[in-house]
Amino acid sequence: MSESSRTAGRAGLFWTLLPYLVFTVLFIATFKRWILPFEDSGREMNTALRLAEGEVLYRDVGYSYGPLSPLIDGFLLRTFGRSLDVLVAWRTVLALLGVEALRRLARRLAPGESLAAAISSFAIAACAFGVGGSWPFPYSAAALAGTVGAWWALELALASESPAGSMAAAVVAGLAAGTKLEMVPLALAGPLLVLALHRPRKEAFSAVAWMLGAAGIAYAVPIVRFGEDLMKRQGFLIALSVPESWRRVYERVLFGGLTPADFARGGFQDVLFPSAVGIALVLLLRGGGRTFNLVLSPLLFVAGGLTFLSPGNGWLHALLPLAACVAIDGLVRAAIAWRRGDCSPDPTAVGVALVMLPALIRQPFFLRNPVYGAFSAPLALVVALCWIGRHAHARKAFTALVLGLSTAQVALRVQGIGMAAMTRTDLPGASLSLVPAESRFVTEAARVISETVPEGGTIGIFPEPGFLLFVTGRKNPFVDELFVPGIQNAAAEDLMIRRLRERPPDALLVTNRAYPEFGPAIYGHGLLDRFFLEVSRRYVLARRIGGEAEPVPLRHASGGLLLVARPTADPDEARAN
């Protein structure tokens, strides 16, 4: 083998491994700093534990997504024991599969291997390690599994050269569609049409049948078993009637405001316009000779690195609407080609567009929200940057710019998460790093719960019980793992009251905060009023976590309040009181 061949081989290996290197650096630098005890992380932990201990999904445990992810998590905890590390390990495996899928799709879209590696590395650095949206422990394992599954289904469909390959794509797509209702269009549409475009008709029809069958089983079986009413109250059909309060939150996340004027001022003027100017300047760059590239490439690498100083990724936001335009253009061109019959539509452009566009609805304009952006933005960033790379004249310089952008994103995550002041917190089944105040609270709360509630006992914790239940091993007496506005309807509140009367928990722990993102309601004053009226008749305040007990009315409480049942064996007497 010649020296030039060996050099080319080493360069190829470097570009192949670069996305994994970025992922590994960020994984180590931010390790276990992305777990939020009183947000969705707790639901992900305790839902799996409840299933591992024999409770039944949707009937005993409320869950608004598809069944695949919690069943896998429950199996892992049942096999390996109650450990946060088990869940992190499984999500990390999924994340690494996502890195490879994104790398392969970038390689199909980019005009060169080095640019594809730089672009996929940038997408991973920008999206995979935000607090609440980190791939090793995201707000929803279903979102991670569904997104990665959709990417792999598309890649397998594009690579298929046999019935076995088409069948693999179909099965992966069907499983991905079964993770969350919103995953159905992005997991099925792209792979389905790709197979229809470049595989024999009989083979494509067979694959589609398997695809739809797998997704259909995931959703049909729970509905048939538990009924439509129960699934609307405590299953995934709750997604079909989103409360107005949730719609307002989504509008703020998606568009940066509730009115067109808000968007024009805060979205277009301050964010989209400057980043669009940056894209235009890159497209205007003209390539030159060797000396030109030797000078321009380092300058653009530094320019990309300087985006570290840009708050909120301000210079990157126009990439998402650009990706949407590129995807729509690809679909229009494919439709024209199909209608004329003089050339075949591009399966890659069609498939990527149909996987990317439904995901982008979650966050079409901004990269500010890491929770949804972790899954809606990566493929869109790849599409936009690959399009720029195909149209840029100075491609080597553009590759240097993207590598600079990637370096800035890595630095932002290391600074914002890896170097943040956090305290290592060791609890049974979970070791992680938390901000100091949160660490003190969960440590004391876990100790008080263990002292107050006997092993195997029950405690109702509000608003998000999962983390403390997981680390103490105590049980949730209610169906739901989340008690925020819009989750419990009247029927669900009736069920909570009935549980409180028939099987009163040993204690309750309430952190009664306001919910400005949904409205002003707090517990007992606009939120679960009837339930907390019953609580006030049956429970007395024992202590305040973080301080001595104070006779503060529940609806005005701001700290963690531990309430224990009144010392009476007569429920009617307790109700009368």
378 contacts 102 by C-beta, under 8 angstroms:
yes
Pair of tokens at residue 444: 């004391």
From 195, 190, 187, select the one nearest 214 (Cα to Cα): 187
Which of 42-56, 299-313, 336-350 shows the lowest mean pLDDT across its residues?
A: 299-313
Pair of tokens at residue 234: 């405590």
pLDDT in tens, 228-280: 988 988 899 887 777 677 777 766 666 655 556 666 655 555 556 656 666 77
SS3 527: strand
- At residue 574, the pLDDT reads 43
569 contacts 546 by C-beta, under 8 angstroms:
no
Give the type of residue at 413: R
Q: How far is CA 403 from CA 117, 119, 193, 326, 413, in A?
A: 9, 8, 33, 22, 16
From 329, 425, 313, 431, select the one nearest 377 (Cα to Cα): 313
Residues paired with residue 434 on neighbouring β-strands, in sequence order = 423
pLDDT at 551 over 50: no
Mean predicted confidence (pLDDT) in 542-558: 58
Distance CA 44, CA 38 (A): 11
- At residue 561, the pLDDT reads 83
pLDDT at 549 over 50: no
- At residue 467, the pLDDT reads 95
- Residues making up the chain, counted from first to last: 577
- At residue 53, the pLDDT reads 96
Cα-to-chain-centroid distance, residue 452: 35
DSSP characters for 72-141? HHHHHHHHH-S-HHHHHHHHHHHHHHHHHHHHHHHHHHSSSHHHHHHHHHHHHHHHTT-TTT-TTS-S-H
Dihedral over Cα of 22, 179, 334, 161: its sign: positive
pLDDT in tens, 1-41: 566 666 667 778 889 999 999 999 999 999 999 998 888 88
pLDDT in tens, 173-223: 999 999 999 899 999 999 999 999 889 989 999 998 999 999 999 999 999
pLDDT at 452 over 90: yes
pLDDT at 553 over 50: no
- At residue 297, the pLDDT reads 76
Q: How far is CA 406 from CA 108, 369, 562, in A?
A: 20, 18, 47
Average pLDDT, the chain: 86
From 43, 50, 95, select the one nearest 75 (Cα to Cα): 50
477 contacts 458 by C-beta, under 8 angstroms:
yes
DSSP strand pairing (507-511 vs 522-523): unpaired
pLDDT in tens, 383-417: 999 999 998 888 888 898 899 989 999 999 999 99
Mean predicted confidence (pLDDT) in 415-437: 93
SS3 526: strand
* Confidence class for position 335, pLDDT limits 50, 70, 90: confident
- At residue 307, the pLDDT reads 75
108 contacts 12 by C-beta, under 8 angstroms:
no
pLDDT in tens, 118-177: 999 999 999 999 877 899 999 999 999 999 999 999 999 999 999 999 999 999 999 999
- At residue 558, the pLDDT reads 53
Question: What is the helix (H) or strand (E) element at residue 353, kind and residue range?
Answer: helix 347-360
Distance CA 28, CA 129 (A): 11
pLDDT at 109 over 70: yes
Mean predicted confidence (pLDDT) in 570-577: 46
pLDDT at 547 over 60: no
Give the type of residue at 194: V
Dihedral over Cα of 536, 540, 542, 548: its sign: positive
- At residue 455, the pLDDT reads 93
Unique residue bearing structure tokens 């979205």 = 267
- At residue 54, the pLDDT reads 95
pLDDT in tens, 465-521: 999 999 999 999 999 999 988 788 888 899 999 999 999 999 999 987 777 777 777
pLDDT in tens, 298-310: 877 877 777 777 7
Question: Does residue 463 have a cis bond before it (omega within 30 degrees)?
Answer: yes
pLDDT at 569 over 50: no
Residues paired with residue 544 on neighbouring β-strands, in sequence order = 547, 561
Tally of CB atoms within 10 A around 270: 14
pLDDT at 572 over 60: no
DSSP characters for 259-309? SHHHIIIIIIIIIIHHHHHHHHHHHH-----HHHHHHHHHHHHHHHHGGGG
How many CA within 13 A on the CB side of residue 379?
35
- At residue 63, the pLDDT reads 93
Phi, psi of 551 (to 5 degrees): -80, 60
* Confidence class for position 577, pLDDT limits 50, 70, 90: very low
C-beta pairs of 179-182 under 8 Å, 24+ apart in sequence: 179/65, 179/66, 179/68, 179/69, 179/142, 179/143, 179/145, 179/146, 179/149, 180/65, 180/66, 180/140, 180/142, 180/143, 180/146, 180/236, 181/65, 181/66, 181/219, 181/236, 181/239, 182/239, 182/358, 182/362
